[in-house]
Amino acid sequence: MKFGVVVFPGSNCDQDAVDTLELMGQTVVKLWHKDHDLQGSDFIILPGGFSYGDYLRTGAVARFSPIMNEVIAHANRGGYLLGICNGFQILAEARLVPGVLLRNTNQQYICKNIHLAPQSKDALLTAGLDKPAYKIPVAHGEGRYFADADTLKRLNDNDQVLFRYCNEAGEITDAANCNGSVENIAGVTNETKNVFGMMPHPERAADPVLGNTDGRLILEQVLKAVLV
């Protein structure tokens, strides 16, 4: 399987994504946002960062980058696509996943470790995760997930919530909700479950030298894409 990591002006986690995938023994290419070719990538990653300086809203400009035409066509063909943090914001702006990302309730940039409880029992990214809580860093100013009541009902009925913010024991509490997301939602998938968006950064918790490999456990789930 070949991974393609898209680089927008202002991306700053593209190399972390490449390094982590290479650590996992995968073939990875970087895809420049002005290109029109996914170079045969089977699995596309939109990395974290501050694409176009986060103007007008985070992800709002990047969503119109030339390569997004190919990324959207890939997703519509059923191809796998993962957006992390700014990547999630771009997916939401492109309407490839439901909901939006708003400014954190405390109006501040949050940079710390949080815990995630895996939710969806049949999404590729979470179905194989069996720990109650995964310790993963967040780093964002606009990470508060929001969707209206009808959308939330559809997400829950169709098992599309990937992760919720939880405490160390895996309990989904208000105190664990770092940015004020509705229903503690930290990640969602689309209706057909081939597009994944998540605010926390698993690629920043994947190398043993950093003292936490919970992120690698999450990212290893994507390797199952070759089996399905």
Site residues for ligand GLN per CB under 6 A: 48-50, 54, 58, 85-86, 139-143
DSSP-derived secondary structure letter, 96:
S
Active-site residue among 13, 85, 166, 178?
Answer: 85
Question: What does the block give as tokens for 60?
Answer: 């709002």
- Which CB, 13 or 217, lies closer to ligand GLN? 13
Query: What is the smallest separation between the CB atom of 197 and ligand GLN, expressed in angstroms?
Result: 12
201 an active-site residue?
Answer: yes
- Which CB, 91 or 193, lies closer to ligand GLN? 91
- Which CB, 3 or 52, lies closer to ligand GLN? 52
111 an active-site residue?
Answer: no
Query: What is the smallest separation between the CB atom of 142 and ligand GLN, expressed in angstroms?
Result: 4
Length of the chain: 228
- Which CB, 193 or 195, lies closer to ligand GLN? 195
74 an active-site residue?
Answer: no
Other beta carbons within 10 Å of 14? 21
- Chain residue whose CB lies nearest ligand GLN: 48
Q: Which of 123, 135, 113 is nearest to 217 (CA)?
A: 135
Close Cβ partners of 3 (under 8 Å, ≥ 6 residues apart): 21, 26, 27, 28, 29, 41, 42, 43, 44, 45
E strand or H helix at 7: strand 2-7
Query: What is the smallest separation between the CB atom of 146 and ligand GLN, expressed in angstroms?
Result: 14
Question: Which of left, alpha, beta for 35 (phi over 0: left; psi -120 to 50: alpha)?
Answer: beta
Query: What is the smallest separation between the CB atom of 225 and ligand GLN, expressed in angstroms?
Result: 23
Q: Which residues are catalytic?
A: 85, 201, 203
